[in-house]
């Protein structure tokens, strides 16, 4: 069964048709050409497919595309502003937070979300928060330094800030 979905991807409205069982990662990559979102494991273990969905980091291999109707998605391609890398992207460049680069888009998106939640995380907090994103090359030290660099040089970036702010009212407060 096919479903029509209307969403915003990297600030642009998109209307498309998806199969009921299609995952968001395949909608982004195969239908919309957002190939920066990588398919690593299809089991949510590696984090290579991490994107911002309504301002929150999600592993797009765990989200049905039909469920994002009315939502907003930001991929790695959508973080830069007018050709300027976001602070997190620039941090990965400045601090050599990548080697083969396969995990990098997911790491950058997860780190962006981390900085939205905590603008000044410690190295221990960074390691803990990026726990669900795997890198087989770097040993993580340069990734941690990249996130610290971003925290000290602009945080998550304008696009991520705007995305989180736009969806701040979408969250429901839970009281005990």
Question: Within 13 Å of residue 175, how many CA atoms lie on the same side as its CB?
Answer: 0
pTM: 0.92
Residue 83: is it exposed, middle or buried by C-beta count within 10 angstroms (0-12/13-18/19+)?
Answer: exposed
User: What pLDDT is attached to residue 168?
Assistant: 82
CATH 3.10.20.30 in the chain, residues? 2-78
- Residue 154 has, within 13 A of its CA and on its CB side, a CA count of 17
Determine the pLDDT at residue 43.
87
Q: Which residue's structure tokens are 């976001």?
A: 86
Instruction: Tell me where in the chain the CATH 1.10.150.120 domain(s) lie.
Output: 87-164
CATH code: domain 2-78 is: 3.10.20.30
Superfamily holding 87-164: [2Fe-2S]-binding domain (1.10.150.120)
Give me the tens of pLDDT residue by residue for the chain, a chain 176 residues long. 999 999 999 999 999 999 999 999 999 999 999 999 999 987 899 999 999 999 999 999 999 999 999 999 999 999 999 999 999 999 999 999 999 999 999 999 999 999 999 999 999 999 999 999 999 888 899 999 999 999 999 999 999 999 999 988 765 444 44
135: Cα separation from own chain's centroid: 15
- Say what the pLDDT of residue 174 is: 43
């Amino acid at each position: 069964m096919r479903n029509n979905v209307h969403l915003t991807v990297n600030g642009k409205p998109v209307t498309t048709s998806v199969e009921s069982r299609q995952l968001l990662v395949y909608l982004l990559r195969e239908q919309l050409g957002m190939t920066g979102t990588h398919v690593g494991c299809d089991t949510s273990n590696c984090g290579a497919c991490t994107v911002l969905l309504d301002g929150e980091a999600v592993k797009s291999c765990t989200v049905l595309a039909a469920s994002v109707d009315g939502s907003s998605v930001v991929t790695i391609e959508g973080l830069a502003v007018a050709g300027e890398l976001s602070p997190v992207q620039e941090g990965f460049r400045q601090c050599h937070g990548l080697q083969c680069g396969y995990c990098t888009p997911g790491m950058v998106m997860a780190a962006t979300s981390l900085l939205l939640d905590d603008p000044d995380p410690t190295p221990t907090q960074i390691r803990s928060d990026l726990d669900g994103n795997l890198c087989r090359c770097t040993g993580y030290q340069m990734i941690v330094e990249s996130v610290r660099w971003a925290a000290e040089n602009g945080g998550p970036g304008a696009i991520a800030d705007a995305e989180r702010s736009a969806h701040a009212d979408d969250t429901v407060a839970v009281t005990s």
